[in-house]
Structure 1
Amino acid sequence: MTEFFVEEMSAILDEEKQVKQKDLMDKIDRKLDDPKFFKSLKTKLPGDFDSTQLDWCFGPTIQSGGQYDLKLSATSDSNMLHPGIIICGLGLRYKGYGSMVARTFMVDPNSSQEQDYKLLSAIQDMLIREAREGVVVKDLYNKAISMIKSKKPELEKHFQKNIGGGIGFETRDSTLLVNAKNTRQLKDGMTLTLAPGFTDIENPNPQDKKSRTYSLFLCDTVRVLGGKQDEAANFTNGASTEIGTVSFYFKDEEEEEAPKERSKKKDSKVGAVASNNIVKTKLRADRGKNQQDEGAEQRRREHQKELSEKKQRQGLETYTESTADTNGVQQKKFKKFESYKRDNQFPSRVADLAIVVDVKAATIVLPIMGRPVPFHINTIKNASKSDEGDFAYLRINFLSPGQGVGRKDERDPFEDPNAHFIRSLTFRSKDADRMADIAQQVTELRKNAVRREQEKKELEDVVEQDNLLEDRTSKKARLDNVFVRPGLDGKRIAGEIAIHLNGLRYNDPRGQKIDVLFSNIKHLFFQPSAHELIVIIHIHLKDPIMIGKKKAKDVQFYREATDMAFDETGNRKRKHRYGDEEEFEQEQEERRRRAQLDKTFKNFAERIQAAAPEAGVDIPFRELAFNGVPNRSNVIMQPTQDCLVQLTEPPFTVITLEEIEVVHLERVQFGLKNFDMVFVFKEFHRPPAHINTVPVESLESVKDWLDSVDLPYSEGPLNLNWSTIMKTVTADPHQFFKDGGWSFLTMESDDEEEEEEEEESAFEMSESDLAASEESSEDESDFDNDASADEGDGSDDDESGEDWDELERKAKKKDREGGLEDEEKPKKKGNKR
């Protein structure tokens, strides 16, 4: 596997391809199930090797570009493979036993990186050599620390706290962690992973921003041997750790000499190398990409500035002085409650001057001053019963202004808040059971009234649809064996959907139906089965409709794209068939079935569009998708031409882009792995829509998408109180836009950038200081070169190495000119192209 990775990596870097680390990882992952790959390795593998017994212990990981995680459970991200320090690791399990190997590959390394790697390789050799029977585990770690202190003490703080552990049936035995605290002794037969590494080392000569820091990591799987063995048995020594094997040199002779010539030329204005001569990256493809990204970022900022100014002008034009009189708030009307219109409607029991709870009229009749007085349940806050001595007390509290929280006053407005109100009434009785029963009845009556009020409020926007005009001909389009969401009452049963003259009708075998008129369709979506388990036709409605007893604004028709999974391990046919022909045939059949299903649903969606021209078919863009939490679960949000949708899991999310005023990105700051999105609607009384916990890796793609659809966005490090913000906006929209509108969202980030610029300018170096620092750096580089020469194995080796490098550079130059064939190129042992 390591040889395959080396070949792929060198080809990518040599040809200057742009390949994502995750894609390269997936390519290596697929090799585990490729029988041709193991046939090519037949000469290197034992005769009894069985590839079906091989499985991943830790998936392959590839890390580069200054972002490294040296944990065994680390995964590759979607960044491009970046030349420089590249760490590759994988773990395999054969017949239940696990093993781990990791290597660090260096592309055009500088002298500091080479010296650090030599030290790490020496530490790894020492650990393998000292891992003998009877050795205490912490002594291994302490010997590694002693070696670092003696050779490069500044790297001690970058050395990992745990540098390995036990491995076998378990991927990591916590009792055998190789650290400074483990007092366990090694015994014959123990299997360990020895994984030393340095993290976040500052690069003294960074070529670009991604090379400012780097990490180094090695891992081998060894077995402790008993007796007088000198060192442990290394199971992964096939992947060499020699610096000549892991180093790659792609820099041409002209590119090496150019920086030396440039360094001699000084800019008279700043006394340093001219900024236009500094090359940020070594690869031409990366240089073009960085320049392109910077240009795209600048264009995006200018476009966002234009969008913000346009939004500010529109706000001032829309909300003039006259609109401020209504304060932008929907005035709540006082609701009058009437219990009885005439005296003869009172319950007959009121003649006894007792407390009567009239459930039918939602009223409680109380005896006051010898007269029955009715109180509607909507005027009562609560009722409670308490005991004191021989008496039971019933206390009834009424709603009145100024009872603390302002929300209650908004919920229950009063006709004249300045009038006198009865706050509570208390009744005393010796019948405690009677008082408890009345308090319970009042409580239940109050709960029922609140529930009815909520149901009425929820159904306010539900409109009664016109009657569906049926198409009784046999030519109407049908789609059978489909399910509907939200589901109808009872067990889930597949039904049929048909296109009629003015709408759609869904029927199930039980006779239940759902009608959707074309005039009520706001958006029509078709989502294919690619990367999903179902194929979907989704309809987002203008006005909600009732499906069963529930209100619904989204109706979805779907069919499962795959059959139910079943276990084939006990199949007799598989017992005598060791190849993958059957699995391949099943995969091919599933692909054909998915393609046919997508075609069927897409044709039906296009027929709906033909019958209702206003409802165009919209298909989500999977390549622009990002993860987020619009409700409670983490789902995939997918942009479409007109919306941002999530159609796979209920509750569904459909955000129309035309209805968006601005978008604000919250929790955008260094160190956080996620950020939140807030969509503010043009109808300010609508609460903003939130999509939380979006991975920070999607930040740039989200910004590009928002900018491409002309949505102004802003970003900030904190979560804002949007209920308070929207109250301020709706109270007086004209004054809000007069004071700057949504520009307050970007003020904080602009202030932070200005502070950072001021801090940087305060520490600017003068010309004399800069010249002095350059002279000192030259002296230090001379000292480093002398020290490295003293640490070398010999002058003869160094001279021969220089001759080989010179021959190889000449060979590369001639190869570009077509002067040498492949077999004539000089090859240096340990270097690969």
Structure 2
Amino acid sequence: MSRSAYNSACSQMPTYKACNVGIIDEEKKVKHSKLSEEIEQVLADPQKIQVKLTAANLDIAYAPIVQSGGQYDLKVSAASDDRRLEYDVILCSLGARYSMYCANIARTFLVDPVKQQEEEYKALLQAQETAINALVEGAPMSAAMAAVVKALQDAKQGHLVEHLPKNVGFGMGLEFREAINLLKPGNERRVAAGMVFNVAVGVSGLEVKIGGKPRSYALLVADTVVVKPGGATPEVLTAACNKAWSDVAYFFKDEEAEPAVPVKAERPGRDHSNVANKKTNLRSEDQTFKVQEEQRRKQKENQEDLLKRVNEETLRVLRHNQDENNQGGSGAGRQVSEVVAYRSISDMPSVRDLAIQVDQKKESVLVPIYGVMVPFHILTIKNATNNQDGDHAYIRLNFNFGPGFEPGTCYPNAVFLKELSFRTSDTRHAVRVVQEIKVLRSNVSQREREQAERATLVQQERLVKSKGRMYTLPDVWIRPNFGGKGRKVTGQLEAHSNGFRYSSPKGETLDIMYRNIKHAFYQPAENEMICLVHFHLINPIMVAKKKTQDVQCYAEVMDSVQTLDAGRRSMYDPDEIEEEQREREQRNKINKIFQQFVRRIQQDVWERDFGDLNLEFEIPFRELGFHGVPHKSTAFIMPTVNCLVELVESPATVVAMPAVAIVNLERVGFNLRNFDMVIVFKDLTKDVFRIDAIPSQSLDTVREWLSSMDIKFYENKVNLNWKQVLKSIVDDPEAFEADGGWSFLDMEGDSGEEEEESEEGDPEFQADGDDSEDAGASSEDFSDSDDESLVDSDEAEGEGSEEEDEEEEEEGKDWEELEEEAKRDDRERHVSDDEEENRRSKQKRKGGSGGGRDAKRSRR
């Protein structure tokens, strides 16, 4: 295991400590997020933290976490918010990677603490030490948690036990957090030599009265330790960063001078106004965060309630699918095993030459084998190739073969032909035969696909034309279009007794039955070029020989292509202003026509005659929309009452939220600009639907919308292989139920147990780990010899040792020494600059008078 990772993590803490002292002493107003960014920048340059490491191998394990002011989250998935640093109890957590090996450290700094906080902190240190000592070779991992509880009770701090998290650390290595190596009660996995653990003992939700007012605070101490062989005491790799009470407690307040604060004459009014304003601002910020905390709490409770319901629904669907599979059923369409080239030998055509022939009528290929023409149906041939070799050509026929081939499952004991190769001297015949085989295969495959699609179509009722008043939407286009040649023309959408009919001047018609409409949408043109109505169908219909489940009628409110003349228009060009006015009037006119049509259909047709269908035109909520890539291009995706839609780009995106089981937000965190959304349907046989590259600024909007829709969602840091995940769930529903259902996605959770802390950080961090036991087990394969070799190589690369790093830590300079050193460097640099300038001026005089080689070289 590389010790360089621990050196890099440990070396950051003094940097933060120095910054922290300076900020508190000068009463600077610094945000948590800003301080986190400054620490992260220091880590990017190893020279700044006085560690001899290769910068290319150094990276952060997570963004540094800085917390204060009564709002604390002890999990490593927490994030530094935008609140200002307060001078009470300050928590800082740092993680680093070196050559992909991880390390973690956390410290608590207390400003003007009271006696109660001192006693609790010292008890916490003792508890962490006992937990570290419990991690000996062969001991169960649950021993660490038991040791912490006993140590707190022995120190007469038993009230801290109920404030402990569910675990006191986890295993780490190449993966930051190994889910199966949690230091929690009930984990009976044995500790092995060479294992590395992050032992983090913390308590939250504590209160203390200071100045007669209760204040909330938390305490946290975390170190990285390695287990030694033979039952020896584990080694604390981050021990170079001190954590004793004298090193983390700071006293800035003069308690005797406190009563003099209200006296105006003792200090300028500026200081008193700053203190008052600071208190006022903090109160307003606390009120804001109380509201945010309440929203987070409600969201967390909602998500916890949803987990049980989602698991039950998924299990019910899985068992139903199992029953259907056991009953069996016949697939739609013609099976390859049912295909016959010729019923008898007499049906085969007579040929004069023993050469490859293509029978277009019977859709077969005849090949000569041992002087006999043997037929093969075109559906059995995968492809055909022709390779020229001088005066000869080689024809190669590849047949469908393998476990995915349908006859292979029907006749498992049969022997199948994989390929045939023929050599011919007639190269033109070879080219013609291969071309005929390709064309025939393409035509037959397309016909089979169309027949299979039509076989799955549901018979629709016949359209009953309206005898009375008929509502019409004129001059609209349709998507998907009817195809064919010629210029595309607009048509009109008519509302009849039991359905819509779209008709074009060419006589093309398309009927959409009301009872086949699952969702209907109306989207006015605001920031788009078109105004549209869209129908998402229950059963697909055929449009231009293609099966589709979405039909859209739209009108263009302005020309999407404009001709640019060579002249330049002025900002106040009357023609341009008039053109913009016409476009605005055209947009308003078309929006009004569509709105009237939608309102009349809703009130006079659907509500009056088809109330049992509960049909309603849904309008997307633009304020809840976000950008993403649902298919191939970026689009603006918006929620509606029941769906998530994107209707402007083609193909349209319509996701019915009642059919959604869970949503997994991937690539969340690590300061990434984008994240991905994976929608998993209740029907697990369907592929998941992905929306990629969603801006991170929309993350809170997506979370709130999913919670309002009662959709269970998780957050991860990596993309999962969903084909394998769904396949394992469908193949083994019992294992899925035994493992806690969908809780395996909660990678920050405790093996399926619901977290009692904030939902916001739970899945976010564990994505750096694994969604299965494979990740956690990977670190168990490390041997002692491998660890030692890694240590040696990394120490050699860094040209230093752990002892040297510790000496550098002890010899760190204070701010006054650093300032004097900076001034001395500036003076030396000034002198060297003057010498350089004098040298250059002499060279110029010499080159100008002599015209030597330097002058010629510069001219050249």
CA separation of 1:717/1:412 partners in 2, compared to 1, >3 Å: closer, same or farther? farther
TM-score in terms of structure 2 length: 0.52
2:299 aligns to what SS in structure 1? helix
Give yes or no for the alignment of 1:510 onto 2:506: yes
**Structure 2 CA distance for aligned equivalents of residues 626 and 678 of structure 1:** 15
Counterparts in 2 of 1:169-318, with a 5 A limit?
Answer: 210=81, 267=116, 270=120, 274=209, 276-277=214-215, 282=281, 284-318=283-317
**Structure 2 CA distance for aligned equivalents of residues 374 and 746 of structure 1:** 57
Q: Give how far 1:704 is off.
A: 1.4
CA separation of 1:633/1:495 partners in 2, compared to 1, >3 Å: closer, same or farther? same
CA separation of 1:676/1:476 partners in 2, compared to 1, >3 Å: closer, same or farther? same
- Deviation readout 1:344-403 (Å, 9 max, x if unpaired): 422232x554432112211112333443321112222334445678765544343344xx
- Deviation readout 1:121-177 (Å, 9 max, x if unpaired): xxxxxxxxxxxxxxxxxxxxxxxxxxxxxxxxx99x89xx9xxxxxxxxxxxxxxxx
CA separation of 1:281/1:460 partners in 2, compared to 1, >3 Å: closer, same or farther? farther
**2:343 counterpart (341, 344, 353):** 341
Residue matched to 2:707: 707
Contact kept in structure 1, 2:628 and 2:692, CA below 8 Å: yes
**Structure 2 CA distance for aligned equivalents of residues 746 and 112 of structure 1:** 42
Q: Give how far 1:323 is off.
A: 2.8
Give yes or no for the alignment of 1:524 onto 2:520: yes
Contact kept in structure 1, 2:555 and 2:590, CA below 8 Å: no
Give yes or no for the alignment of 1:358 onto 2:352: no
- Deviation readout 1:7-38 (Å, 9 max, x if unpaired): xxxxxxxxxxxxxxxxxxxxxxxxxxxxxxxx
Q: Give how far 1:702 is off.
A: 0.9
Residue matched to 2:618: 618
The runs of 5 or more residues in structure 2 that have no matched partner are 1-22, 31-37, 46-62, 72-79, 86-110, 122-206, 217-277, 752-760, 767-813, 821-860
**Structure 2 CA distance for aligned equivalents of residues 343 and 310 of structure 1:** 63
Residue matched to 2:654: 654
Contact kept in structure 2, 1:304 and 1:713, CA below 8 Å: yes
**Structure 2 CA distance for aligned equivalents of residues 754 and 572 of structure 1:** 54
Contact kept in structure 1, 2:500 and 2:511, CA below 8 Å: yes
Residue matched to 1:720: 720
Residue matched to 1:442: 437
**Which amino acid in 2 is paired with 1:421?**
F
Contact kept in structure 2, 1:365 and 1:374, CA below 8 Å: yes
**Structure 2 CA distance for aligned equivalents of residues 378 and 720 of structure 1:** 36
Residue matched to 1:242: none
Contact kept in structure 2, 1:522 and 1:542, CA below 8 Å: yes
**Structure 2 CA distance for aligned equivalents of residues 501 and 462 of structure 1:** 23
**Which amino acid in 1 is paired with 2:374?**
V
**2:464 counterpart (444, 448, 469):** 469
Q: Give how far 1:497 is off.
A: 1.6
Give yes or no for the alignment of 1:680 onto 2:677: no
**Structure 1 CA distance for aligned equivalents of residues 321 and 399 of structure 2:** 39
**2:541 counterpart (538, 545, 568):** 545
1:277 aligns to what SS in structure 2? strand
Residue matched to 1:639: 639
Residue matched to 1:372: 373
TM-score in terms of structure 1 length: 0.54
Contact kept in structure 2, 1:486 and 1:556, CA below 8 Å: yes
What percent identity do the matched residue pairs reach?
Answer: 33
CA separation of 1:274/1:597 partners in 2, compared to 1, >3 Å: closer, same or farther? farther
**Structure 1 CA distance for aligned equivalents of residues 379 and 556 of structure 2:** 49
Contact kept in structure 2, 1:639 and 1:645, CA below 8 Å: yes
**Structure 2 CA distance for aligned equivalents of residues 384 and 576 of structure 1:** 64
- Deviation readout 1:324-353 (Å, 9 max, x if unpaired): 79489988766321112243422232x554
Residue matched to 2:256: none
Counterparts in 2 of 1:69-80, with a 5 A limit?
Answer: none
**Which amino acid in 1 is paired with 2:504?**
D
**Which amino acid in 2 is paired with 1:477?**
Y
Contact kept in structure 1, 2:317 and 2:683, CA below 8 Å: no
**Which amino acid in 2 is paired with 1:434?**
H
Residue matched to 1:663: 663
**Structure 1 CA distance for aligned equivalents of residues 699 and 663 of structure 2:** 13
Give yes or no for the alignment of 1:418 onto 2:417: no
Residue matched to 1:482: 476
**Structure 1 CA distance for aligned equivalents of residues 316 and 510 of structure 2:** 43
1:366 aligns to what SS in structure 2? strand
**Which amino acid in 2 is paired with 1:314?**
E
**Structure 2 CA distance for aligned equivalents of residues 399 and 414 of structure 1:** 13
**Structure 1 CA distance for aligned equivalents of residues 320 and 564 of structure 2:** 71
**Structure 1 CA distance for aligned equivalents of residues 338 and 116 of structure 2:** 84
1:282 aligns to what SS in structure 2? helix
**Structure 1 CA distance for aligned equivalents of residues 496 and 691 of structure 2:** 37
Q: Give how far 1:717 is off.
A: 0.8
CA separation of 1:115/1:265 partners in 2, compared to 1, >3 Å: closer, same or farther? closer
Give yes or no for the alignment of 1:557 onto 2:553: yes
Q: Give how far 1:284 is off.
A: 4.4
**Which amino acid in 2 is paired with 1:277?**
R
Contact kept in structure 1, 2:395 and 2:430, CA below 8 Å: yes
**2:426 counterpart (431, 435, 459):** 431
**Which amino acid in 2 is paired with 1:550?**
K
- Deviation readout 1:235-277 (Å, 9 max, x if unpaired): xxxxxxxxxxxxxxxxxxxxxxxxxxx9697656658965843
**Which amino acid in 1 is paired with 2:337?**
K
Name the stretch that deviates more: 630-639 or 524-533. 524-533
**Structure 2 CA distance for aligned equivalents of residues 731 and 294 of structure 1:** 41
Q: Give how far 1:676 is off.
A: 0.9
**2:496 counterpart (482, 493, 500):** 500
**Which amino acid in 1 is paired with 2:473?**
L
CA separation of 1:318/1:471 partners in 2, compared to 1, >3 Å: closer, same or farther? closer
Contact kept in structure 2, 1:324 and 1:732, CA below 8 Å: no
**Which amino acid in 2 is paired with 1:530?**
E
- Deviation readout 1:94-131 (Å, 9 max, x if unpaired): xxxxxxxxxxxxxxx99858799xxxxxxxxxxxxxxx
**Structure 1 CA distance for aligned equivalents of residues 67 and 311 of structure 2:** 47
Q: Give how far 1:574 is off.
A: 9.8
Relative contact order (C-alpha < 8 Å, sep 6+): which is higher?
2
- Total equivalences in the alignment: 523
The Cα RMSD (Å) is: 4.8
**Which amino acid in 1 is paired with 2:297?**
Q
**Which amino acid in 1 is paired with 2:606?**
Q
**Structure 1 CA distance for aligned equivalents of residues 765 and 533 of structure 2:** 51
CA separation of 1:114/1:584 partners in 2, compared to 1, >3 Å: closer, same or farther? farther
CA separation of 1:372/1:568 partners in 2, compared to 1, >3 Å: closer, same or farther? closer
2:337 aligns to what SS in structure 1? coil
2:463 aligns to what SS in structure 1? coil
